[in-house]
Amino acid sequence: MSFKEIGIEELEINPMTMIGGDWWLISAGNEQNGYNAMTASWGHLGAIWERPEGKAHMGLPTACVYLRPQRYTKEYLEREDIFTLSVFESNHKRALGYLGSHSGRNEDKIANANLTPVFDQGTIYYEQAKMVFVCKKIYNAPLQESGFVDTSLVENNYPKKDFHEMYIGEIVKVLVKND
């Protein structure tokens, strides 16, 4: 199974249904030092900030993910400069459900979910993925209770006050499965 790189301009996706409905797999690490992954249905794709060498008037293509402090995957995002966001066809939803309900602290859950790691670009993604965003970590900070304008969201989402940590990655590559 091979992947090809496509340009950001070629992307034809609906981020809301893709992330919120189909989910994606956040992964980081490599074969030498270990790796982990977790399912997420929260996140954003868009543009923020600029670089002098970047395209004029076009923010950096970026992805944002939110991890609760207790996630084992968070330790890998802290350690690594690169993380990936893998998107799958719906026939892999069961695997994503597994990876979103078991912790890599206790088992080799990627093997147990029957996903085949591809070690490439100094990071990890999966043979079964249909699309992969390779992201370079550029910003990370916890969400703060004081920032909530709608405080009912705190009551509903954070009864234990375990506020998500936000990681913004610059999308350095988009890979899609070769037909």
Q: Which residues lie near ligand FMN (CB under 6 A)?
A: 23, 36, 38-42, 66-68, 71-73, 97, 100-105, 164
Phi, psi (degrees; rounded to nearest 5) at 127: -55, -35
The nearer residue to ligand FMN, 66 or 148, going by C-beta atoms, is 66
* Spatial distance between the Cα atoms of 153 and 155, rounded to a whole number of angstroms: 5
Smallest gap, in angstroms, from Cβ of residue 64 to ligand FMN? 11
Which position's Cβ is nearest ligand FMN? Answer: 100
Smallest gap, in angstroms, from Cβ of residue 72 to ligand FMN? 3
The nearer residue to ligand FMN, 136 or 142, going by C-beta atoms, is 142
Smallest gap, in angstroms, from Cβ of residue 166 to ligand FMN? 10
Residue of 125, 114, 119 whose CA lies nearest to 92:
114
Smallest gap, in angstroms, from Cβ of residue 38 to ligand FMN? 4
Residue 33 sits at the vertex; the CA angle it makes with 29 and 35, to the nearest 5 degrees, is 35
* Spatial distance between the Cα atoms of 152 and 154, rounded to a whole number of angstroms: 5
Neighbours of 119 (CB within 10 A): 13
